[in-house]
């Protein structure tokens, strides 16, 4: 249980950060697409911290690397620092995240191709739902709840450190 809490705590903090900075609290201060662009970065960093606390066998390495690098790209585009086509920029950032995961794996971090692929499928699926349907998927609080659920799963199902 201790190991699960250690790895779950950053995810809970990430959920709180997503809700505070990307959720309904700031919805009137900036356009939704701008605020939502920072969700992958916050989620990815929370996953990476969880992975770091889990050591080489932390389960969050693949999604942490892929989503953090995508989040960096999304934040740069939303902030106007990277003036590129949105789709191309996102694809490039995801590709760099995949390469980062491959490099980490070659340095002894335990992850599989399936874990990396699953991270891309989940991230891409959520982006597709948000861009196609909006609604619930347009709110940072939705992603905060998903991250909090991942934290609870980590806390209750993780192997001890």
Q: Where are the domains of the chain?
A: 2-157
- Residues 53-82 have a mean pLDDT of 91
What pLDDT, in 10s, does the model give residues 108-151? 999 999 999 999 999 999 999 998 998 888 888 899 999 999 99
Burial class of 69 by CB neighbour count within 10 A (0 to 12, 13 to 18, 19+) = buried
What pLDDT, in 10s, does the model give residues 7-59? 999 999 999 999 888 776 555 666 656 678 889 999 999 999 999 998 888 88
Task: List all residues 6 or more positions away from 147 whose beta carbon is below 8 Å from its beta carbon.
Answer: 11, 14, 15, 18, 43, 46
What per-residue confidence (pLDDT) applies to 30?
60
- Are 157 and 2 spatial neighbours (Cβ–Cβ below 8 Å)? no
Q: How many CB atoms lie within 10 A of CB 154?
A: 24
pLDDT band at 61 (very low <50, low <70, confident <90, very high): very high
């Amino acid at each position: 249980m201790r190991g699960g809490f250690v790895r779950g705590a950053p995810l809970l903090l990430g959920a709180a950060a997503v809700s505070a900075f990307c959720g309904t609290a700031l919805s009137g201060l900036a356009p939704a697409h701008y605020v939502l662009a920072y969700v992958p970065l916050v989620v990815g960093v929370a996953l990476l911290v969880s992975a770091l606390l889990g050591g080489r066998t932390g389960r969050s390495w693949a999604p942490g690397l892929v989503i953090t690098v995508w989040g960096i790209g999304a934040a740069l585009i939303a902030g106007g620092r990277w003036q590129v086509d949105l789709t191309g920029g996102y694809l490039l950032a995801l590709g760099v995240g995949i390469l980062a995961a491959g490099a980490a794996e070659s340095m002894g971090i335990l992850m599989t191709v399936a874990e990396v692929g699953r991270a891309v499928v989940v991230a891409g699926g959520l982006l597709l739902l948000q861009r196609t349907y909006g609604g619930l998927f347009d709110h940072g609080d939705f992603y905060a709840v998903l991250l909090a659920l991942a934290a609870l799963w980590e806390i209750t199902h993780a192997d001890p450190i």
